[in-house]
Amino acid sequence: MNWPLYVTPAHIVRLYDRFEALDKEKTGHLRPQDFGAINRLAMNPIGDRIIGAFFSPGQETVDFHSFVRILAHFRPADKKHPKDPSMPEPVNSRTSKLKFAFQLYDQDKDGKISRAELLQVLRSMLEMQVTEEQLESIADRTIQEADLDKDDAISFEEFRKSLEKVNIDHKMSIRFLR
């Protein structure tokens, strides 16, 4: 198989072990319930969304290739090899990291984080600690702050803009994938 520079061979070996371990029925594919079996993931407030991100729409399983491809989003950007303009955008670029985060919010895949979608995420992240009113005012404020075209939703451009001062490469990377 051709690995388009997502990760290093060492990572692939390691991730393959993990993949095998998760793949209890040895089908070569992971199903959502295989992810659900990870205990701590069940406790993660946005765990189900992240599991969802592994499955492209309409598909019930994920093979190893996609598995690695998704995880490769969290590879720190490679500073030593400057971006080759002729190459396609790498999966660990700032934009694709942001896209990954964006689609965690944008569950209906309409390219916009609507108020309802934002509220859902907020609700799961804040659990019971906040009243609905507080949630709503936070959501309102968030949208108002990011929403540049006044459509009461956050598009990807607006999402990117609202985070333009954040070092995404630091905040959306995992060390072991270096």
Partner 1 sequence: PLRRYASPGIALARSAEEPSATTEDGGESHRHGGGFQMVQWEWSYVQTPYIIAIWILVASVAKILFHFSQRFTTVVPESCMLILLGLVLGGIVLLTSKKQLYQLEPGLFFLFLLPTIVGDAGYFMPARLFFDNLGAILLYAVVGTLWNAFCTGFCLYGVKLLGVIDQKVQAGLMEFLLFGALISAVDPVAVLAVFEEVHVNETLFIIVFGESLLNDAVTVVLYKVYMSFVEVGPENVQTADYFKGVASFLIVSIGGTMVGLIFAALLAFITRFTKKVRIIEPLLVFLMVYLAYLTAELFSLSAILSMTFCGIGCNKYVEANISQKSRTTVKYTMKTLASIAETIIFIFLGISAVDKSKWAWDTGLISCTLIFIFVFRALGVVMQTWVLNWFRLVPLDKIDQVVMSYGGLRGAVAFALVVLLDAERVPAKDYFVATTIIVVFFTVMFQGLTIKPLVNWLKVPRATNRKPTINEEIHERAFDHCLTAVEDIAGLNGYHHWRDKWEQFDKNYLSKLLLRKSVYRKSELWEVYQKINIRDAISVIDQGGNVLTSARLSLPSMASRASFPEVTNVTNYLRENGSGVCLDLQVIDNVPGAKVEEESETHHFLAGNLYKPRRRYQSHYSRHFMTVGDHERQDREIFQRNMKSRMETFKTTRHKRHSHKKDRSQKKAGIPKRNDWISCGGASGVEDEKGEHLEPEKEEDVGITFVARKVPDTPKERPKSGVSEPSMAPPSPTCSERNLPWKGGIGTLPVCVSMEATKIIPIDLQQAWNQSISSLESLASPPGPVEPLHPASAPLQAGRAEEGALSDQEQELQPLMSSSVRPPGPPPPPPLAQGLGRRRNPCVYLRSLVTAPPPGSEPLARSRGPTQL
Residues forming contacts to partner 1 in the complex (CB under 8 A) are 15, 18, 21-22, 35, 38, 40-41, 43-47, 50, 54, 71, 74, 76, 79, 101, 104-105, 115, 121-122, 125-126, 129-130, 133-134, 136-138, 140-142, 144-146, 148, 150, 152, 159, 161-166, 169-176, 178
Strand partners, 154: 113
Shortest separation between residue 82's beta carbon and partner 1, angstroms: 14
Least distance in Å: CB of 50 to partner 1? 4
Helix (H, G, I), strand (E, B) or coil at 41: helix
Residue 87 or 148: the one with the smaller Cβ distance to partner 1 is: 148
| Identity of the residue, 28 or 45, whose beta carbon is nearer to partner 1 in the bound complex | 45
Interacting residues of 60 by C-beta distance below 8 A, sequence separation 6+: 31, 32
List, in sequence order, every residue forming a beta bridge with 114; answer none if it has no partner: 153
The encoded tokens of residue 124 equal 């799961």
Cβ proximity to partner 1: between 87 and 126 the closer is 126
Q: Name the residue nearer to partner 1 (CB basis): 90 or 114.
A: 114
Task: Give the DSSP per-residue string, 107-166.
Answer: TT-SSEEEHHHHHHHHHHHHTTSS-HHHHHHHHHHHHHHH-SS-SSEEEHHHHHHHTTTS
Nearest distance, CB of residue 155 and partner 1, angstroms: 13
Candidates 122, 119, 111; CA nearest to 156 is 111
CB of 86 to partner 1, least distance (A): 27
**CA–CA distance, 56 with 46 (Å, rounded to integer):** 17
Residue 6 or 105: the one with the smaller Cβ distance to partner 1 is: 105
C-beta of 33: minimal distance to partner 1 in Å?
14
